[in-house]
């Protein structure tokens, strides 16, 4: 897919003209006033930056993006990466360039960012209930699919668009008890599908859901919950087919975050293809695509996704961790305790605390594995790091941190430096290339 067709290449390229200044905490003071392009032309390295800091790894981003794109091609499924993970049009472009159908987003504000950068195909993984948002989507010059999970939501959209000619393409969302949004049973979801069929301003184009809200582990119980839910999604699709409620001859079934996308394909792939092949009892032949929405995969991590990702669980080659935190020791007030200058305002902590990996006397200098150290608490601006007695830690030392959960890392940074290759979690720096090769802009 050509980026110019899927997203505005000039708009993305225009980020290189943005000026860097005091508003971007990753930018050093001596680069104040330079443009993105000028900063890169200066060939800065990690040593030119300062702590606290979040960086990305260019090699990891490429490996991860290439790998899932190839996996989707091999399995014949569409990919609409959840863009809320990064809110970075530069990274969206990389995903679209590798054949992604479009970008998934979570709310109206995020849709407006995507529209500003000319993204052509969008999936809103939510129901539209704000009147301004409903009217904006109905009038948008882009393909935008959204979800509905109740008859009341269908009625709200109908009232909002009553005096317009707007028509929303919607998908019925199936949820599960204890989950997030979504009709709580196949029967309730069928009521929603019937309401859409009767509506003047909605068209039913698929079935949607999110299995990650129902499990948080890859043990037998977690996987059973996911697979049972997906089986219900398939049942819902088949009942909608049988009732002739789809309003298009091309429909989409979508589920799949970064934790269980393999199970999504395993359970739902029998629905793919034309219904003349998969369900001959359906009067009119429809084309059915399966779409996954993995978002965190392009960054991956050293925590939650390292454990739960299908590529980690398969025992094969996992995704590479594509982000790291860098923090400096500001105090060593007690034996075995160091206070670092990064905290909740800088690093993710909701899916596990950062993991100390390497330590060295200077940012960008030689580092050694930091064995036995642990982050035990995090304040707004500080981490508490304990370490064993055989390890020497001094104020001014720099610690590289492995992180968990990209979705709550990116929102803390408006500009994120990209290093060529930060090496592995135990690499002491001998094979790392710490040249700054790009700056990623985010729009939260």
- Mean pLDDT by runs of 10 across the 444 residues of the chain is 72 97 95 97 97 98 97 98 98 98 98 97 98 97 97 98 96 93 97 98 98 91 95 97 95 95 96 85 87 97 94 85 98 98 98 97 96 98 97 97 97 98 67 93 98
Domain containing 308 equals 1-57+301-444
In this structure, are 287 and 306 located in the same domain? no
- Whether 90 is covered by a domain: the verdict is no
Q: Which two tokens stand for residue 331?
A: 């105090």
Domain count, the chain: 2
Q: Which helix (H) or strand (E) holds 290?
A: strand 287-292
In this structure, are 159 and 265 located in the same domain? yes
> Are the CB atoms for 193 and 243 separated by under 8 Å?
yes
Q: What's this model's pTM, rounded to 2 decimal places? A: 0.94
> Are the CB atoms for 173 and 147 separated by under 8 Å?
yes
In this structure, are 283 and 345 located in the same domain? no
Cα separation, 257 vs 85, whole angstroms: 11
Strand pairing report for 103-105 and 287-292: unpaired
Can you tell me which residue has the tokens 């998908």?
Answer: 171
In this structure, are 37 and 142 located in the same domain? no
Residue-level pLDDT at 418: 98
Could you check whether the bond before residue 52 is cis, i.e. omega within 30 degrees of 0?
yes
Identify the domain boundary among 294, 321, 346.
Answer: 294
Please give the span between the terminal C-alpha atoms of the chain, in angstroms, as a whole number: 26
Exposure letters 354-392 (e unless 16+ CB within 10 A, then b): bbbbbbbeebbeebebbeebebeebeeebbbbbbeeebe
Residue-level pLDDT at 427: 59
C-alpha dist (Å) from residue 206 to 123, 141, 209, 270, 272: 12, 21, 10, 15, 12
């Amino acid at each position: 897919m050509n980026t110019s067709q899927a997203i505005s290449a000039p708009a993305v390229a225009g980020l290189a003209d943005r000026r860097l200044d005091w508003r971007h905490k990753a930018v050093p003071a001596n680069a104040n006033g330079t443009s993105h392009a000028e900063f890169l032309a200066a060939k800065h390295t990690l040593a030119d930056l300062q702590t606290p800091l979040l960086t990305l790894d260019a090699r990891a981003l490429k490996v991860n993006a290439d790998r899932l794109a190839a996996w989707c091609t091999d399995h014949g499924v569409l990919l609409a990466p959840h863009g809320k993970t990064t809110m970075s049009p530069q990274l969206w472009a990389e995903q679209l360039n590798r054949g992604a159908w479009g970008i998934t987003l979570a709310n109206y504000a995020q849709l407006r960012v995507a529209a500003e950068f000319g993204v052509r195909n969008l999936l809103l993984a939510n129901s539209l209930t704000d009147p301004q948002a409903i009217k904006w989507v109905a009038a948008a010059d882009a393909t935008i699919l959204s979800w509905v999970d109740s008859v009341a939501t269908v009625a709200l959209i109908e009232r909002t668009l009553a005096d317009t000619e707007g028509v929303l393409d919607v998908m019925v969302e199936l949820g599960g008890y204890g989950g997030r949004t979504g009709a709580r049973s196949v029967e309730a979801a069928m009521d929603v599908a019937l309401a859409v069929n009767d509506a003047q301003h909605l068209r039913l184009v698929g079935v949607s859901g999110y299995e990650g809200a129902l499990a948080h582990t890859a043990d037998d119980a977690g996987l059973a919950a996911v697979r049972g839910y997906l089986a219900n999604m398939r049942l819902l699709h088949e009942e909608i087919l049988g009732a002739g409620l789809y309003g298009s001859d091309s429909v989409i079934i979508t589920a799949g975050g970064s934790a269980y996308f393999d199970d999504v394909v395993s359970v739902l792939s029998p629905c793919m293809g034309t219904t003349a092949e998969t369900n001959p009892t359906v009067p009119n032949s429809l084309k059915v695509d399966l779409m996954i929405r993995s978002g965190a995969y392009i960054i991956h991590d050293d925590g939650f996704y390292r454990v739960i990702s299908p590529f980690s669980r398969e025992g094969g080659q996992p995704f590479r961790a594509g982000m790291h935190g860098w923090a400096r020791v500001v105090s060593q007030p007690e034996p075995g305790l160091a206070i670092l200058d990064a905290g909740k305002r800088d690093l993710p902590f909701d899916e596990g605390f950062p993991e100390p990996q390497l330590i060295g006397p200077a940012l960008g200098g030689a580092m050694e594995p930091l064995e036995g150290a642990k982050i035990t608490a995090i304040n707004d601006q500080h981490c508490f790091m304990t370490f064993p007695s055989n390890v020497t830690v001094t104020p001014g030392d720099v610690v590289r941190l492995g992180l968990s959960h990209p979705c709550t890392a990116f929102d803390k940074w408006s500009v994120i430096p990209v290093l060529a290759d930060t090496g592995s979690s135990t690499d002491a720096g001998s094979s790392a290339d710490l040249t700054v090769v790009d700056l990623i802009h985010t729009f939260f």
